[in-house]
Structure 1
């Protein structure tokens, strides 16, 4: 579904991506791991076409992302943002139905609200949450609303950006389980970027480690612990000593 071939991206003298090669098969859940500042978010933005690579080719379902019609292309994606990114001035149901109230996916208001309430139910929130505002919700509830919004338009591809950031371990486990269930239910292709190893083990079919601007290691999540790769081994076990230098 998604293929990256020799993708490079630099910002001035800062070479972030230095020849990324990665394939995400249709219907699989790929988790990209790596330290802070290694380019995980840049990689995601390149796939979405929000940032243009300096060189290399990125295709989604065989189409070059730099040459597609933007509205139709982006309509295929759902996104759970790291900080929730809910609109404070809109009630919860309008946040969830945001894409269904405008643009090429527009639905009648009553239909959009009904879909929003159903998606809220799918992530474990009751209908009375629909008319609350984001400020009235806990962090875990806001994350669920963000997840409901990500799936509201039944996307083929879903991106999860640090889905458990800021959550306690129990709520993080709940969100991980929800993500896994929903991705399997929908048959969606999923890409998650995270450095939370509990998320990796709960969500991933395959794992890719981004380090030094390239994919250092990729393979099934079951092979991760016995990979033999010193970079991956240091990262997943959180060791201070190893080939990855900690920024002090």
Structure 2
């Protein structure tokens, strides 16, 4: 469904992506792992068109993502942001229904609220919490609101940027389970970037290891531990010694 072919991106002298090749099959969950600053977020932004690659081709269903109707293209995506990225001045339901209150997906206000409340219920939040503001929620609840917003318009493709960052182990497990369940229920194609190996094992069908601007290894999550790849092996076991140089 999504394919990156020899994608390069530099910011000045900082060459972040150095020829990324990656295929994501329809209806599967792909998780991209790698150290901080290796270009995971840049790769997602290139797919969405928020950052334009210097060279290479990115296609969605075989079509160049830089061509065609931009609004129709973005309408196919949902996004869970790393920090939640909720609007402090909007109520919880207005955050969830943000896309349904404006633009090409606009619905009547009452209908948008009804959909938002249903999506909040799906992620384990109660209807009475819909009228609260983000500041009145815990970090875990805010993450659930972000997840409800990501699925509110029933997207075909969902991106998850570090879905468990800042959460305790129990809440991380809850979010991992929700992500897996929702992706399966919706039949959506998912791309996730994370450092959390527990999340990787919980939500991935396939894994791609990004290091030094290229995909060092890709394969099914079940093959990670026997990959034989020194970069992947060092990363998933958190070893200081190996081909990945730790900043000391």
Structure 1 segment 125-144 matched on structure 2, within 5 A: 125-144=125-144
Cα deviation, residue 154, structure 1: 0.2
Structure 1 segment 33-48 matched on structure 2, within 5 A: 33-48=33-48
Residue ranges of structure 2 left out of the alignment (5+ in a row): none
Cα deviation, residue 130, structure 1: 0.2
Q: Tell me the alpha carbon deviations over residues 134-185 of structure 1, each in whole angstroms, 9 at most, x when there is no partner.
A: 0000000000000000000000000000000000000000000000000000
Paired position in structure 1 for 2:187: 187
Paired position in structure 1 for 2:113: 113
Cα deviation, residue 67, structure 1: 1.1
SS in 2 for 1:30: strand
TM-score of the aligned structures, taking structure 1 as reference length = 0.99
State the distance in 2 between where 1:144 and 1:68 align: 33
Corresponding position: 1:235 with 2:235: yes
Cα deviation, residue 62, structure 1: 1.6
Paired position in structure 1 for 2:14: 14
Corresponding position: 1:175 with 2:166: no
SS in 2 for 1:207: strand
Paired position in structure 2 for 1:122: 122
Corresponding position: 1:54 with 2:54: yes
State the distance in 2 between where 1:133 and 1:61 align: 38
Paired position in structure 2 for 1:245: 245
Paired position in structure 2 for 1:88: 88
State the distance in 2 between where 1:110 and 1:174 align: 30
Paired position in structure 1 for 2:75: 75
State the distance in 2 between where 1:152 and 1:61 align: 23
What is the count of residue pairs matched by the alignment?
248
State the distance in 2 between where 1:6 and 1:15 align: 13
Paired position in structure 1 for 2:225: 225
Cα deviation, residue 112, structure 1: 0.3
Paired position in structure 1 for 2:27: 27
SS in 1 for 2:225: coil
CA RMSD of aligned residues (A): 0.4
